[in-house]
Every structure is written in structure tokens, then in C-alpha cells.
Amino acid sequence: MALRAMSKNGNFANGNDAASADVTAAVKGTAISVVTKALDTLNIAIRKTIDSGLKTVKETMEINLHDIPISPEQNTLKLLLITS
């Protein structure tokens, strides 16, 4: 629909005379509405895809939000014990 609202060289299809000013405004409004709706739909699809991917990563890593994070000191101690 957005492509139908446009003509060659980026000009709207109904011309530029004063009698068609209302039609031009309506066509521009429709084109803007269609593009906005398409971008909103694309945005939602991207967010759902990212959320799904992050959920898969979380499940794979088996992240538990209630675990105590490892501090750098604890990590160093574990490395020393392993290499000794």
C-alpha cells in the first residue's frame, strides 16, 4: 500500500495542484501510517526473537538467579587450588 501511494521520482501520484491538496494529505497520512505499522510489527518480531534466544541461552547456562555470584577472590583461590 505504501508503494501504491508513491509514484515515479518520489512524488505522490495525484499531482501538485491546489484542488488535490486534501487528497495529497490523505495519501501522505496513509503512507506514513502503513510504514509505521510495518516498523512496529518488525520491532515486535525482533524483540520476540531476541527474548527467545536469550531464554535458550539462560536455559543452556542453567543460570540460577538465587545463586551467590563468585567474586574475583574466590575465583583466584579456585584457580590456585586447581593448578597446585
Please name every residue paired with 12 in a beta bridge, in sequence order, or none if there are none: 6
Q: What is the pTM of this model?
A: 0.49
* C-alpha pair distances (Å), 40 with each of 31, 48, 72, 78: 14, 12, 43, 48
pLDDT tens per residue across span 55-83: 888 888 776 666 666 666 655 545 555 55
Q: Distance between CA atoms of 40 and 35, rounded to whole angstroms?
A: 9
Look up residue 68 and give its three cell numbers. Answer: 551467590
